């Protein structure tokens, strides 16, 4: 049995629960076998989520996550729903169960390489625009301040 973790981090303003027990929060995840459409996991059927709002994690931590346990390898469809129950993410993954000895955690072999993790996270699409914006703002302020400082120093000498 392997634990499959999905972290959800908002990149824009979204609706989310501001109280732990928000009855109208429809945030959730559904994992199905992509070949048979058999339900593997859903927060709708998980009794642990009966009273609690999944998206409340955004209020407390800035993100929320799911960590269902998968019992066998296969191709899985993952659908994430937002606060209103609308799908916000849908993707098919090929999942390979990784065997390890629970008595010897050092024998655990990672299921993803660093390159695969970076590809899945696609960080450059989020960080590159912010980095370019911040560098542009810095350059504009730096040039402006340098120009003003130069102007005042020359004016003071005259």
For 59-99, write each residue's pLDDT tens digit: 888 998 888 888 888 899 999 999 999 999 999 988 887 77
- Tell me the whole-structure pTM to 2 decimals: 0.61
pLDDT of residue 101: 66
What secondary structure letter does DSSP report for 136?
H
pLDDT at 74: 86
3-44: per-residue pLDDT in tens? 778 898 988 889 999 999 988 899 999 999 999 999 999 999
- Domain ranges within the chain, ordered by starting residue: 2-109, 122-158
Contact partners, residue 88, CB within 8 Å, separation at least 6: 80, 81, 82
CA distances, 25 to each of 4, 48, 137 (Å) = 23, 14, 38
């Amino acid at each position: 049995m392997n634990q499959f973790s999905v972290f959800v981090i908002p990149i824009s303003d979204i609706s989310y629960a501001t109280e732990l027990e928000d009855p109208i929060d429809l945030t959730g995840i559904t994992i199905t076998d992509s070949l048979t459409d058999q339900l593997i996991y859903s927060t709708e059927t998980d009794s642990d989520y009966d009273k609690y709002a999944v998206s409340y994690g955004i209020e407390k931590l800035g993100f929320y996550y799911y960590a269902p346990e998968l019992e066998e390898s296969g191709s899985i469809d993952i659908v994430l729903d937002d606060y209103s129950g609308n799908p916000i993410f849908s993707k098919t993954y090929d999942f390979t169960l990784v065997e390890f000895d629970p008595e010897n955690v050092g024998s655990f072999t990672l299921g993803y390489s660093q390159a695969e993790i970076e590809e899945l996270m696609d960080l450059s699409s989020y960080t590159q625009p912010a980095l370019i914006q911040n560098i542009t703002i810095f350059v504009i302020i730096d040039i402006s301040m340098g120009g003003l400082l130069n102007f005042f120093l020359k004016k003071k000498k005259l």
